[in-house]
A and B are shown apart, each in its own frame.
Chain A
Amino acid sequence: MLSIKNLHASIDGKEILKGVNLEVKAGEIHAIMGPNGSGKSTLSAVLAGREDYEVTEGSVTFNEKDLLELLPEDRAKEGVFLAFQYPVEIPGVSNVNFLKIALNEIRAYKGLEPMEAKDFLVRLKEKQKLVELDGKLASRSVNEGFSGGEKKRNEIFQMAMLEPKLSILDETDSGLDIDALRIVAGGVNKLKSKDNAIIVITHYQRLLDYIVPDVVHILYNGKIVKSGPKELALELEEKGYDFIKEQVGA
Chain B
Amino acid sequence: MEAELKTMTTKDKLIAEFESSKNSLFDNIQLREQALEAFSKQGIPNRKSEEYKYVNIELSMKGDFAFSSSKKLSAKQIESTQFLKDAIIVVIENGKFNSESSKVNSLPKGLQILTISEAVSDESYTKHYTKYADINSDVFIALNTAFASGGVFIHLAKSAVIETPIHIIHISSVSENTILNTRNLIVVEENAQVQFVESYETVDLSAKSFTNTLTEIVVEANAIVSHFKIQNECELGSLISTTQVVQKGKSVFSNHTFTLSGSLVRNNLNIVLDGEHIESHLNGLYLTNGNQVVDNHTLVDHRKPNCNSNELYKGIIEDKSSATFNGKIYVRKDAQKTNAFQSNKNILLSDDGTINTKPQLEIYADDVKCSHGTSTGKLDVDKIFYLRARGLSEASAKKLLMHAFASEVLDSIKGMEELHNYLEERISKRFE
Q: List A residues at the B interface (Cβ < 8 Å).
A: 48-51, 71-73, 75-77, 81-82, 84, 87-88, 90-93, 98-99, 101-103, 105-106, 109, 141-142, 158, 162
Contact = CB atoms under 8 A, between A and B. Distances in A.
B385 interface: yes
B391 interface: yes
Contacts of A84: 386, 389
A92 B404 contact: yes
A88 B397 CA distance: 14
B383 A102 contact: no
B19 interface: no
A73 B400 contact: no
Interface of B: 380, 382-383, 385-394, 396-397, 400-401, 403-405, 407-408
A88 B386 contact: yes
Nearest to B406: A92
Given A50-B385, A93-B403, 15 more contacts: A71-B394, A73-B391, A73-B393, A73-B394, A73-B397, A88-B383, A90-B386, A92-B403, A92-B404, A92-B407, A99-B390, A102-B387, A141-B404, A158-B390, A162-B391
B390 A71 contact: no
B389 A72 contact: yes
A105 B408 CA distance: 26
- Most central of A72, A75, A162 by chain B CB within 10 Å: A72
A102 to B, nearest CB: 4
Nearest to A161: B390
Nearest to B393: A73
Nearest to A84: B386
B393 A82 contact: no
A158 to B, nearest CB: 6
Nearest to B400: A93
A158 B407 CA distance: 23
A102 B392 contact: yes
A77 B408 CA distance: 30
Contacts, number: 73
Contact of B396 (A51, A87, A101): A101
Contacts of B382: 88
A99 B387 CA distance: 9
A50 B384 CA distance: 11
A73 B404 contact: no
A77 B392 CA distance: 9
Contacts of A162: 390-391
B383, B390, B391, B397 — which one has the most chain A CB atoms within 10 A of its CB? B391
B408 A98 contact: no
Contact of B404 (A71, A93, A109, A158): A93
Contacts of B392: 73, 98, 101-102, 105
Contacts of A91: 404, 408
A244 to B, nearest CB: 30
Contacts of A72: 385, 388-389
Nearest to A45: B385
A90 B404 contact: yes
Given A87-B386, A101-B396, A92 B405 contact: yes
A76 B389 contact: yes
Among B388, B396, B405, residue most surrounded by chain A Cβ atoms (within 10 Å): B388
Nearest to A142: B386
B391 A102 contact: yes
A166 to B, nearest CB: 13
B391 A106 contact: yes
A15 B397 CA distance: 30
A196 B400 CA distance: 30
B388 A76 contact: yes
A73 B407 contact: no
A71 B387 CA distance: 12
A72 B400 CA distance: 17
B393 A105 contact: yes
Nearest to B408: A92
Task: Select the residue from A51, A77, A98, A158 with max chain B CB neighbours within 10 A.
Answer: A98
B390 A98 contact: yes
B388 A71 contact: yes
A71 B397 CA distance: 13
B408 to A, nearest CB: 6
B306 to A, nearest CB: 31
A84 B392 CA distance: 16
Contacts of A105: 391-393, 396
A102 B389 CA distance: 9
Nearest to B391: A76
B389 A49 contact: yes
Nearest to A72: B388
Contacts of A90: 383, 386-387, 401, 404
Nearest to B395: A73
A212 to B, nearest CB: 26
A162 B404 CA distance: 22
Contacts of B388: 49, 71-73, 76
A75 B393 CA distance: 11
